[in-house]
């Protein structure tokens, strides 16, 4: 199922923005105006923030580092989309997806992970993510210093 998708070239910044725009259109109430980014790595948070900022419909982007902080943030402000980073070095992302789905079953969860983590991406869908953004903060991008 993931084989063809995993052979694709890494996303450029422009292509990644397009994917996020499409994801933002999936929300029930129209274009997304608010997003929570749940990512334990600060460098990855900054890269995702930079990618998201140009989206004109977004008025609020909240960053948290784990599932418990995600629950606090989402309870204080139910957002349109939750982006949750997953990676091999930690189970924080998958735990956050499970916790978010259990506590807020109707939320739009998008897992963000590297194409090399096929098993983690599949687990994210099984755990309740509605979509995937293939993105690797370790890969340098050709159009600038940050990674997407």
Alpha helices, H only, 26-113 = 42-52, 67-76, 92-103
* Residue 129 located in a structural domain: yes
* Residue 143 located in a structural domain: no
Model-level pTM? 0.76
Structural domains of the chain, count: 1
Write the pLDDT tens digit of every residue in 68-88. Answer: 999 999 999 999 999 999 988
* Residue 140 located in a structural domain: no
What whole-number distance in Å separates Cα of residue 129 and Cα of residue 127?
A: 6
* Residue 148 located in a structural domain: no
pLDDT at 138 over 70: no
Give pLDDT, residue 11. Answer: 44
* Residue that wins the pLDDT comparison between 52 and 4: 52
* Residue 10 located in a structural domain: yes
Stretch 41-69: mean pLDDT: 88
| Residues making up the chain, counted from first to last | 148
CATH of residue 71's domain is 3.40.50.2300
Write the pLDDT tens digit of every residue in 20-48. Answer: 555 555 555 667 789 999 999 998 898 88
- Whether residue 23 contacts residue 133, with contact meaning beta carbons closer than 8 Å, is answered with yes
Give pLDDT, residue 139. Answer: 54
Give pLDDT, residue 118. Answer: 83
Residue bearing tokens 């460098």 = 43
- The chain-wide mean pLDDT, for the chain, equals 78
Neighbours of 38 (CB within 10 A): 29
* Residue 139 located in a structural domain: no
Give pLDDT, residue 143. Answer: 44
Write the pLDDT tens digit of every residue in 111-132. Answer: 998 878 888 888 998 899 988 8
* Residue 41 located in a structural domain: yes
* Residue 142 located in a structural domain: no
Give pLDDT, residue 25. Answer: 56
Parent domain of 112: 3-116+125-134
């Amino acid at each position: 199922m993931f084989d063809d998708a995993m052979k694709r070239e890494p996303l450029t910044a422009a292509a990644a923005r397009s994917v996020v725009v499409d994801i933002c259109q999936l929300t029930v109430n129209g274009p997304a105006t608010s997003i929570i980014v749940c990512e334990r790595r600060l460098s990855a948070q900054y890269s995702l923030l930079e990618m998201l900022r140009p989206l004109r419909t977004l008025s609020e982007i909240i960053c948290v580092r784990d599932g418990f902080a995600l629950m606090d943030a989402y309870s204080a402000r139910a957002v349109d989309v939750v982006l949750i980073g997953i990676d091999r070095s930690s189970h924080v992302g998958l735990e956050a997806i499970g916790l978010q789905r259990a506590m807020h079953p109707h939320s739009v969860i998008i897992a963000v992970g590297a194409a090399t983590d096929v098993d983690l991406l599949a687990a994210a869908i099984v755990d309740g993510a509605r979509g995937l953004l293939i993105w690797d903060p370790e890969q340098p991008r050709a159009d600038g210093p940050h990674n997407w």
